[in-house]
């Protein structure tokens, strides 16, 4: 009888542990999941967001504290959320995640990076005592909703898309590495050509170039009509030259007569001056 009684305690302890594990696993988490589709919910209300990766040891150590902190979310009137950067690369680029885990605080669209201790107590004090007011918010031009960060998000999503298809070409289709690179190179060239054609089409629609119509070849009738004014001009020029040639001798004769008259006057004046001096 003694051996059977001694086995009851380990079995009871094992059952309690198993029940606790099942209860913990089956209990609904208070941490909300943020994705590329619903991230704009962060712009309203107060949030604490954790960016993590399943393979990160520091993120694994933070998970129990984060779950315990999320239980206080309703009392503190704060939403506790997390983002898996391996599943949501666009949000990783949108928030410029360079280290894991990274925690952000958001209040009515203003984002602040939390850099304090990572314990449940510190998280609670950060919200209850409003310690986030002492942190400078992220500038609007690099905020998650800005055009720059939207472009960064698209770039990160494109890089993940390329990586996924690269693995698909190599592992599933059995292409060599250089074959996968060749496919992406051709796709890049074709997309560049299409983009260039679209830009040229848009530019031509917005700023159309002035096209000169080709002048028709002149007919014989037009040539004859155009030559008549030229003949008239030449005849008028010849007539003017003849008039000038006739006027030139007359002008020369007038100049000669004027010169003779001036000489006679000078001779008549010279003796009078001589008599005046002698007197």
Domain boundaries, the chain: 32-134, 147-205
Give the pLDDT confidence of 60-106 residue by residue, as tens digits: 999 999 999 999 988 999 999 999 998 888 888 888 888 899 999 99
pLDDT on residue 221? 53
> What's the pLDDT score for residue 253?
52
- The per-residue pLDDT for 277 is 45
Mean pLDDT for all residues in the chain: 75
> What integer pLDDT is reported at residue 26 of this predicted model?
46
Which pLDDT value is given to residue 1?
A: 42
Can you list the residues of the chain whose pLDDT is less than 50?
A: 1-3, 21-26, 222-223, 269-279
Q: Which CATH class is domain 32-134?
A: alpha beta
Which positions ≥6 away from 96 have C-beta within 8 Å? 142, 149, 152
Q: Could you give the residue numbers annotated as active site? A: 56, 59
């Amino acid at each position: 009888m003694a051996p059977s009684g001694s086995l009851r305690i380990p079995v009871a302890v094992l059952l309690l542990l198993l029940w606790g594990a099942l209860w913990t696993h089956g209990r609904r988490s208070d941490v909300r999941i943020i994705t590329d589709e619903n991230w704009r919910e962060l712009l309203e209300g107060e949030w604490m967001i954790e960016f993590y990766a399943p393979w990160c040891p520091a993120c694994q150590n933070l998970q129990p504290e984060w779950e315990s902190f999320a239980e206080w979310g309703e009392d503190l009137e704060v939403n506790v959320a997390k983002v898996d950067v391996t599943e949501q690369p666009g949000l990783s680029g949108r928030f410029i995640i360079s280290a894991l885990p990274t925690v952000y605080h958001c209040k009515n669209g203003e984002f602040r990076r939390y850099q304090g201790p990572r314990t449940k107590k510190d998280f609670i004090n950060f919200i209850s005592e409003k310690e986030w007011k002492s942190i400078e918010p992220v500038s609007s031009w690099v905020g998650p909703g800005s055009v720059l960060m939207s472009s960064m998000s698209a770039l990160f999503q494109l890089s993940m898309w390329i990586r996924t298809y690269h693995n698909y070409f190599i592992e599933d289709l059995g292409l060599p590495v250089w074959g996968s690179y060749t496919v992406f190179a051709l796709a890049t060239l074709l997309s560049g050509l299409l983009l260039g054609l679209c830009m040229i089409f848009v530019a031509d629609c917005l700023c159309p170039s002035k096209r000169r119509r080709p002048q028709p070849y002149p007919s014989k009738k037009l040539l004859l009509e155009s030559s008549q004014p030229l003949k008239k001009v030449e005849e008028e020029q010849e007539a003017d030259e003849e008039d000038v040639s006739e006027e030139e001798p007359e002008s020369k004769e007038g100049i000669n007569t004027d010169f003779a008259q001036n000489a006679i006057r000078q001779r008549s004046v010279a003796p009078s001056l001589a008599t005046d001096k002698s007197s």
